């Protein structure tokens, strides 16, 4: 380790107050999603911070009041050195009015070695540490021959894929680090997709005709869409159990492939036989799977269920998968991300973790999802790596350890300097 870099690592300790102040400033911006459409001021602050460090700034609205911000620091190495994307989301989990916060979710508290406030763990701690690392590197004129791209995106909490929009806008790199909640583990992730399954009758019937549908000799061929959806749910449960027996992935608890019947809507009025029923499901799948194949498997299974039913065989359920926003479309996709432990960037990050903490790095699979999967989806090697414990994310009095935040910042300083100096 060079003397210059060691000096920077020491400054993380001596300038701890500045790092904490930066995190508290980010927490103070009220950016919960939902309701969303509230990140403009926070993004302007981050854009200004990056611009002061010499980054060129690109910003565009994903939705009114919710802009993406990308800062690019072109390396001096004329594309001969490795590039990196540092990615984080500025939106935070929603806050219910009745939550018992000690002060308020956006009035941060610094106490007992912790910073407390909405977003401390998920994931303004990661944003603060990465920004502070870049500030120290630039302040001390550490050579950075490779390109560095910093993405502060919106919408992660509600599936709005600000990160995908950055990829589609042309931002690429040799490695992407998503600085989301991982307890400083280096992680891949499984994937998630939501879907709507709809059972619909071609006709509507008065509830007084129900006797004719269900008793011998009634002569009326019809059905309640709600009751037929019960068969669909049973079919989904059968498939979920089959997956638990037949599928596995290293580092994932057995049975992590789940199909959650999250919301059901049906019927129109007590005087009608329910002529439509809609089921909103959430599907989790393993890192080596993709949502296209998983949804095809579900559809094929439910078609078989329908074909075994005398009414459903002529009135097959329909499917609508994913979406670009849980707010706008009531749907989302988070692609899976397979971590490659042999990738030079992952090996370097693990070595810097061990150098700073004195412990071997933990490589694994997150039990939740982040924007990391969009990089894998677009062919960019990536990992999720950030401070904060998942059990504190989305929680009342959300918090992050100051010591872990400092360790993270040190690791990022050393990693960025080393990776940016690695020849292609």
**Annotated active-site positions, please?**
91, 156
CA distances from 308 to 214, 216, 225, 336, 398 (A): 18, 20, 16, 33, 49
CB of 66 closer than 8 Å to CB of 37: yes
What does DSSP assign to residue 157?
G
Q: State the CB neighbour count (10 A cutoff) for residue 62.
A: 20
CB of 381 closer than 8 Å to CB of 338: no
E strand or H helix at 18, and its extent?
helix 16-28
Residue 107 tokens read as 């009035």
414 alpha carbon, distance to own chain's centre? 26
CB of 83 closer than 8 Å to CB of 173: yes
Q: Which residue has the tokens 């929603």?
A: 94
CA angle centred on 282, ends 333 and 183, rounded to 5°:
70
CB of 62 closer than 8 Å to CB of 74: no
Edge-to-edge order in the sheet of strand 109-111? 109-111, 114-116, 399-401
Which residues lie closer than 8 Å to 345 by C-beta, 6 or more apart? 82, 84, 174, 175, 381, 383, 419
Distance between CA atoms of 270 and 267, rounded to whole angstroms?
8
- Write the DSSP string, 211-266: HHHHSTT-------HHHHHHHHHHHHHHHHHHHHHH---TTS-TT---EEEEEEEE
């Amino acid at each position: 380790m060079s003397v210059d870099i060691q000096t920077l690592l020491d400054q993380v300790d001596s300038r701890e107050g500045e790092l904490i102040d930066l995190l508290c400033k980010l927490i103070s911006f009220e950016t919960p999603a939902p309701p969303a459409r509230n990140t403009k001021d926070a993004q302007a602050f981050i854009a200004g911070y990056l611009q002061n460090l010499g980054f060129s700034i690109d910003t565009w609205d994903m939705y009114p009041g919710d802009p993406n911000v990308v800062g690019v620091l072109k390396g001096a190495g004329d594309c001969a050195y490795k590039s990196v994307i540092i990615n984080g989301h500025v939106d935070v989990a929603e806050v219910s009015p009745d939550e018992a916060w000690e002060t308020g979710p956006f009035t941060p508290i610094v106490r007992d070695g912790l910073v407390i406030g909405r977003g401390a763990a998920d994931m303004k701690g990661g944003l603060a540490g990465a920004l502070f690392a870049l500030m120290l590197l630039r302040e001390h004129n550490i050579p950075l021959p490779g390109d560095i791209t910093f993405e502060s995106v919106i919408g992660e909490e509600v599936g709005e894929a600000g990160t995908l929009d950055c990829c589609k806008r042309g931002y690429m790199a040799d490695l992407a680090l998503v600085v989301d909640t991982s307890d400083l583990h280096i992680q891949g992730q499984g994937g998630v997709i939501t879907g709507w399954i709809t059972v619909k009758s071609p006709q509507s019937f008065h509830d007084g005709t129900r006797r004719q549908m269900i008793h011998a000799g009634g002569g009326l061929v019809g059905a309640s869409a709600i009751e037929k959806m019960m068969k669909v749910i049973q079919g989904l449960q059968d498939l979920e159990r089959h997956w638990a027996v037949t599928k596995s992935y290293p580092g994932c608890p057995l049975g992590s492939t789940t199909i959650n019947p999250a919301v059901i809507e049906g019927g129109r009025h007590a005087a009608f036989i329910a002529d439509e029923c809609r089921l909103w499901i959430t599907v989790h799948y393993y890192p080596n799977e993709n949502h296209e194949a998983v949804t095809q498997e579900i559809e094929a299974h439910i078609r078989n269920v329908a074909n075994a039913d005398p009414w459903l065989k002529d009135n097959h359920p329909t499917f609508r998968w994913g979406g670009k926003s849980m707010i706008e479309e009531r749907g989302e996709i988070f692609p899976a991300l397979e971590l490659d432990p042999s990738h030079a960037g992952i090996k370097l990050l693990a070595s810097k973790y061990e150098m700073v903490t004195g412990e071997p790095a933990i490589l694994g699979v997150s039990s939740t999802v982040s924007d990391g999967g969009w990089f894998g989806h677009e062919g960019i090697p990536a990992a999720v790596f950030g401070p904060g414990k998942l059990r504190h994310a989305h929680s009342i009095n959300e918090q992050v350890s100051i010591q872990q935040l400092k360790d993270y910042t040190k690791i990022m300083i050393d990693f960025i300097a080393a990776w940016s100096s690695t020849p292609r």
